[in-house]
Structure 1
């Protein structure tokens, strides 16, 4: 039996390909350590859970300046992963970033810091996706990142359907290190990063401080040739490509208020729509060049990790983190779509002096872009605070820990340029002070009157208390039966409050969410690790959670690790998991979105007669509200894997995973439009003079539902090989994710179901991989990595050629010949590979799958003292 002489609280984990050995039975002093994926402190580093680890060196070698830059390159990161993309002023989470494991959504990937939850961003992604903003964690503060690749609700609770990302912060430094980094792309995107890390290891205390400054200049879509125009047809010369220029142009398009389909571009008077922007009877506008691809961002962070020995068996610990982040996001001038009108007797009526014109004396409406007051610009100022205090210790052979956790995240988003107040614009049109059809005649005083400043304030808080105790429950024939039990109480709240102008519907041309919500959660959990044989361990876990807003759930998990030989291990797990409805999904207030939809019912009725062709994709206004009756998403998952160490220098692992998720929370506005598009309670339309026309869409009322199911399975493969030569030491590693199945089902006709997405569809490549080679010799070290993202189908089309696979190369060379100093020169996307062309996206590539950053070269210097 193992005789425990001391317990040391630590956090450790194994790489997927680390050699596995049978439990040691020598009666010598050992430590018990806690691994990601379990609350049980163990005598070895291995467990049945499949884990991938990124060390501080891995993060450095990736060339990434922020955490998302490294995580997005993982083969298991899929659709739903998003970086600090501006996506113009229409995005609702500007400046944020998060990871979607297995492509199951950022809200189905649980993010932990040092094994504990952190609060979500106050601004949801895409109005409803709650996510933890990874930008709050500077790379300089990270010791390593553990990625658990199977469901973990039995261990950690909600949101762990796809897995867990556990960020472990530095806490063991003795000395100081300063690091400076500079980098840039071919155009725009210059970055500077400066960090200072200091640590002290005294007899009774340990302290680590991290200060980090990060600054990145913007990249506009106009800075890249492949996204510089929304008219992809003209740019590529491909007749199958699409002209995505907006139907809201400048000066715009004039239409009859009584029949908006009767319209003509503004080619009258002094100010006219440019000839190259006229398509049919619409004046269009190329918004792409003015939009942020990567916004300007500036962040300052501090981190503190401390521990103090109260006595031989009790220690106090504290974690303090804080960050201020400032982001600037740009977009084209605000568009209007028939919101503004002009009376037939208005003094600025463009046809007042043309009595024979069919529009003479008629009330008008218009599609026009408010370029008069400039392009849109938003500033987002965010503050993040995290504080944990706790005690830990030992009672005989048992370890215990109790802690209090407080986190607050607050963001203020201000629209400071290019935002018109619709009520003021209409008032200025009505009194004749603003002429929308002759913009050069308008005074600066009038423009100042119609322009406004918008404000949106978001706040997210989380308070929790947790306690855990673990240790040997009893002796068995093949070792100690280990037990961990614990409890957690958590209170969360979010608020997302745009100003009264948004609430009154006075701001057009941008999107903002409004949400309020709070919940309490109480959880109890237990785990046992059973040594069935010297070579076989079975682990059983269960967690019960009670939510104040939707009820309770209980999730079990069973896993095993079998070592039939010293160099061979088999592992597996089965469990259930869940995701609670986000507070945004439950408490969202009225929020306007602008999805691109096809009005199938109108297309069937009138074909392509209308100038706004209902048979092709077009932007419409969808009005969303939260649904307090939502239930949780539920899943079953299992994993089977093998780890084989062929030699001391060559090993590999292969894991099969399978997820079955039910009651997915989502919306399907296109399906709603297809099935209920003639119901006036669901879709508001404007009548036209076209025979049999159901009318042009004004707005669609939609909400979130438990709407579908998803099954996915696949393989994770990893291999490592190291060898020595007279020219240096080499290490080669390869990781690959291959999706065997991905089938998302939604409601279909006659009570049946339909396949909404499947493997290989748009942004769902079947294969992702990364090949990395390290070389070191004397004072030099170099690495070369090849990233591969497989091909996939075009959006909404089986006829167009597939989106091509993308291969990028990252490399870096480091020099260690100066005492205590490391100099590194490197580049990501070394050959400046362009993202493959996507037909049905205005920017010409998939921002959710491929990066538009281009080559990023950097110089890094670090000095230890």
Structure 2
């Protein structure tokens, strides 16, 4: 990718990567007359595309030479973009786990960059973990239809309204295309050769004296890549204490003061009794292992009982790349009604189907297994055998001694590839089905009553229908099944427990026990369990585990009117130009969930509510271009926007200046305000994400648990004060002719950021209230508080209530979920420097060369949270904030291109700076680490917990292209390209995080090799 310096009309926008973004040049009277155009960042027509705002233009040639096949490939190479979710990641709080891609300029948040298609809005149909709505660029337009991408890298609300805080990205399609072009792309990963992409695309167009029409389409088929396929690189990173084989906590034992007391002697480190067959499971597959933090054995009267908790590595289930099919079409056309009036329109459609594997969700309501459950009876008998010949013989099997056990785990473990469908009978894949369409109908031309004034008005409608499905355990069915009343043909009121297991099947009596122990799957010799009293039937799994669905519909209707022209001739003889505009838009959101979810019937996916919301917005703006002389010009703009439903409004001004100091050097400056209102989810809905988290208060180990943020209609708009200083230098003669340099220094002061307090932070606040003197297990050190060695939970009499509305616990204090409220809480100040330079030279014998550098340096990124605590996020992962994401201090691209005759080679070196993993390890009052998840992951992944550095990462991309001569029906301009990204196969830095790498910064696929054939007809 490279920036583009536009000097002439529309044709210049397709120039290759040799010239520089944001460059500005004086308009000289002696230059030939050229067509007036409009460039993103201004509505005023100009004879050059120079911009006083920092502007980067990515041409079609740029897109092709880096081997991009989709918009995310373009975005990932923008050095000024950080924190986008353009790779599959199931572990980032719900961000981009279903195929969405997005843009995050300056790391200000996915909702703070306004995305346009041909200068007009597209419905923001996806949300991130913070509830911020953004445009899913994966379904925007076929990549073969793109002419260029224009990026305004400062606040633009003065012209474009809400969301344009970080800037504007305008995707512009090929207009007036003539002929036909078809392309085929194939790419595969080097490591496994399983992750294949097949892309078929085409574009066709015809023109006449009065109009044109262009039609494009593409079909993408993407094969998945599992962590299991790259287990040596990323396996062992998905650690959960809620496993299968799982962990158990028996109740009612000899010597206990009352029924229901725990067996302290069986426990090690609070780990509970691990399933006896944890090692058997580990011998069958690589997902189960005994916890190295709690030990394998626990003493009991000089004898031993298997006790260490059984841990589950769910990472092999999940995808580094999800499976996907995608079909996109785009049609555009123009027709001249007269010499002064033109009608135009465009329509696009996208169908996206995304699939990724998923582990079975854990059971976070911790079912109690009664003493008559055959699985428990078998387990106790096996444990009792270890006590033979001791005074404690038969202690576990004597009726009344054990009333039951609490199960900490999940209904199913294992992966399908390891064990087949016999032990994994249900489909646990996450799937998304979405269809998106957009249509624009407009008219533009001359205003007959105002000489030299033109107008442009259009109506644009866009809509996305999306369905997400997954599976979870139905809590009511589980509760019946552990009591022997499970099954679709069992009458829960009159059925006989276990009649189906015993073979006594009659109407309403096909009742089965669910055996939560590993004996429900395999016998001790590793063969499939054949004992009907222990085996879990396939039909029982299918009855216990149900499908949940969420259907979401996003709609947007926008009417725009813009008129622009010359107001008057100023005293200096130069025109005062202006643009005036009006806009009305209506956004709607509706969400429907299945009946079981609505009733809170699933064990893990808690709740869900059908809701709908809307917002009507009215806006008007004015823009003035005031030339002081032929070298100095100012622009003044302001926009007023009012939001009906939330009762808010905003006025945002912007002033820019551009001074052509010499023929080669231009200086620019801009300052203004921008804003963003909360999304419909943030103001009126809810947002659920699944967080892999532990709770030190209750001793709950690391597991995924729901965090459900609630909408807040009282949210104020986010607001930002933005300024930019820049220069462009391009020597027109001398030894440096062919060199161009662009520098831009930016600053954002961003207030009232909308955020959802994170579960980890809320848990700490909850604990601080409940345990004012800290977590404590030593009665001599003060009041007991929190989980104790016997796994009971103590409450400090002087403690407070915690956060009962946001941290939801059961009556015993066990953590269930978090329910934070969206709030205006944070402030962000960031500044930095963008650098772009190109040098092009031509030789007599060796062709033309182009060298380039694009770099972004972040000077500061200071986040102030709701408690007034300020941290600088530069060079950090920013895991503790709900706004910032990973932000390396430096990102840079170094390019070198060569072209001679029909041959060309392009190389790109991409550098991502090192940064700090600021993930905090929770500690108790004694300073001991309470880090089951991160500690186990460190053991499995070979990481040093004390080393928080995420290393720098450098990759090399290379492409060779050959432009073929006309042969038969193949026209001149056809070409074949062969290349690779990350050709040296550099694995991303390891990270102590689920999945083992940072999906916001790095790409886990390794080397990708591709071939592309483009045919002109």
Q: Provide TM-score, normalisation by structure 2.
A: 0.77
What is the DSSP-based 3-state SS (H/G/I as helix, E as strand, rest coil) of the residue aligned with 1:445? Answer: helix
Q: 1:64 to 1:439 in 2, by over 3 A?
A: farther
Aligned to 2:792: 689
1:356 corresponds, among 375, 389, 395, to: 395
Shift in Å at residue 215 of structure 1?
Answer: 1.0
Residue 237 of structure 1 corresponds to which residue in structure 2? none
Summarize the Cα distance change of 1:319–1:534 in structure 2 as closer, same or farther, 3 Å threshold: same
Aligned partner of 1:675 in structure 2 is: 765
1:223 aligns with 2:229: yes
Cα distance in 2, alignment partners of residues 266 and 455 from structure 1: 34
1:803 and 2:803 correspond: no
Report if the CA contact (8 A) 1:13-1:53 is conserved. Answer: no
2:822 is the counterpart of 1:704: yes
SS of corresponding position for 2:50: coil
* Equivalent residue number for residue 387 of structure 2: none
Asked if the contact 2:709/2:756 (under 8 Å) is kept, the reply is no
C-alpha change, 1:362 and 1:120, in structure 2 (3 Å) is: same
How do residues 547-696 of structure 1 correspond to structure 2 at under 5 angstroms? 547-550=643-646, 551-589=648-686, 591=688, 593-596=690-693, 599=696, 602=697, 612=700, 619-646=704-731, 647-669=736-758, 670-677=760-767, 688-689=791-792, 695-696=813-814
Deviations 1:372-430 (A, max 9, x none): 44562022111010000010001331110110001011111223xx5332222222222
State how far apart, in whole Å, the 2-side matches of 1:51 and 1:69 are.
20
Q: Which of the residues 456, 459, 464 maps onto 1:401?
A: 456
Q: Write the deviation string for residues 702-741 of structure 1: whole angstroms up to 9, x where unpaired.
A: 1211011000000000001001122111011111000011
Native 8 Å contact 1:624 1:703 kept in 2 = yes
Partner residue in 1 for 2:256: none
Tell me: CA distance 1:320–1:623, structure 2 relative to 1, closer, same or farther (3 Å): closer
> Which structure 2 segments of 5+ residues have no match?
1-8, 252-259, 295-307, 385-393, 413-423, 486-497, 499-511, 522-534, 772-784, 800-812, 878-885, 921-944, 967-971
Among candidates 467, 470, 478, match of residue 425 of structure 1: 478
CA, structure 1 residues 772+27, in 2 after alignment: closer, same or farther (shift >3 Å)? Answer: closer
Aligned CA distance change for structure 1 residues 597 and 444 (closer, same or farther; 3 Å): closer
The residue correspondences of 1:645-794 to structure 2 (distance < 5 A) are 645-646=730-731, 647-669=736-758, 670-677=760-767, 688-689=791-792, 695-725=813-843, 726-748=845-867, 753-762=868-877, 763-794=886-917
Match of 1:140, SS?
A: helix
Aligned to 1:385: 437
1:250 and 2:277 correspond: no
User: Are the structure 2 counterparts of residues 642 and 301 from structure 1 closer, same or farther at C-alpha, using a change threshold of 3 Å?
Assistant: same
Among residues 630, 637, 648, which one is paired with 1:534 in the alignment? 630
Instruction: Quote how far apart the aligned CAs of 1:213 are.
Output: 0.9
CA contact (8 A) 1:336 1:508 kept: yes
Residue in 1 that maps onto 2:613: 517
Q: Conserved in 2, the CA contact under 8 Å of 1:643 and 1:653?
A: yes
**Cα deviation digits, residues 573-610 of structure 1 (max 9, x gap):** 001001110111112247463253564xx4xxxxxxx8
Cα distance in 1 for residues equivalent to 2:770 and 2:595: 28
1:240 equivalent in structure 2: none
**2:91/2:995 contact within 8 Å kept:** no
Q: State the match for 1:128 in structure 2.
A: 131
Q: 1:81 to 1:328 in 2, by over 3 A?
A: closer
Q: Contact (CA 8 Å) 2:562, 2:581: kept in 1 or not? A: yes
Give the counterpart of 1:335 among 338, 362, 373: 362
**Alignment pair present for 1:25 and 2:65:** no
Deviation at 1:265, TM superposition (A): 3.6
Q: What does residue 516 of structure 2 align with?
A: 436
Contact 1:373 1:451 in 2 (8 A): no
Check 1:510–1:756 CA distance in 2 against 1; reply closer, same or farther (3 A cut).
farther
- Which one has a larger percent strand, Structure 1 or Structure 2? 1
Candidates 444, 458, 464, aligned match of 2:558? 464
Give the alignment of 1:481-500 within 5 angstroms: 481-500=576-595
SS across alignment from 2:330: strand
Counterpart-to-counterpart distance in 2, 1:598 and 1:230: 22
Is the contact between residue 671 and residue 721 of structure 2 (CA under 8 Å) also seen in structure 1? yes
2:127 and 2:94 map into 1 onto residues whose CA distance is: 13
Deviations 1:526-564 (A, max 9, x none): 100000121101000100000023311100000010001
Tell me the secondary structure at the aligned position of residue 124 of structure 2: coil
2:332 corresponds in structure 1 to 305
Q: 1:155 to 1:511 in 2, by over 3 A?
A: farther
Distance 2:152 2:372 in 1: 68
Higher deviation after alignment, 667-676 or 21-30: 21-30
Counterpart position of 2:410: 369
857 and 478 in structure 1: CA distance in 2 versus 1, 3 angstrom threshold: farther
Q: Counterparts of 1:757 and 1:159 in 2: how far apart (Å)?
A: 24
Report deviation, 1:287: 0.6
Confirm or deny that 1:201 pairs with 2:207: yes
* Cα offsets for 1:121-147 (capped at 9, x unmatched): 2x4222612110000122111111111
Q: 1:296 Cα deviation (Å)?
A: 0.7
Q: Quick check: 220-229 or 69-78, which moved more? A: 220-229
Structure-2 separation of matches of 1:505 and 1:859: 50
Aligned pair partner of 1:501 in 590, 596, 599: 596
Q: Secondary structure at the match of 1:565?
A: coil
Give, in whole Å, the separation in 2 of the partners of 1:836 and 1:408.
39
Residues 800-852 of structure 1, C-alpha deviations (whole Å, 9 max, x = no match): 241111101111101113323201101111111100112x2122211111011
Distance 2:261 2:336 in 1: 78
Match of 2:539 in 1: 445
Quick check: 2:863–2:872 contact (8 Å CA) kept in 1? Answer: yes
Answer yes or no: is the 8 Å Cα contact 1:729–1:775 preserved in 2. yes
Moved more, 88-97 or 43-52: 88-97
C-alpha distance in 2, partners of 1:226/1:42? 57
Distance between the aligned counterparts of 2:96 and 2:427, measured in 1?
18
Q: For 1:482 and 1:145, locate their aligned partners in 2 and report how far apart those are by CA, in whole Å.
A: 26
| 2:906/2:958 contact within 8 Å kept | yes
Contact 2:362–2:703 (Cα < 8 Å) also in 1:
no
Bigger radius of gyration, 1 or 2?
Answer: 2
SS at match of 2:914: coil
Tell me by how many angstroms 1:511 deviates.
7.9
1:246 shift after superposition: 0.8
The structure-2 alpha-carbon separation of the partners of 1:64 and 1:831, relative to structure 1 and needing over 3 Å to count, comes to same
Aligned equivalent of 1:3: none
How big is each residue's C-alpha offset from its partner over 1:720-779, in whole Å with a ceiling of 9 and x where there is no partner? 10011221110111110000111111133xxxx112452111121100011111111112
In 1, distance between residues paired with 2:94 and 2:261? 29
SS at match of 2:442: strand
| 2:22–2:55 Cα contact (<8 Å) kept | no
> Is the contact between residue 131 and residue 687 of structure 2 (CA under 8 Å) also seen in structure 1?
no
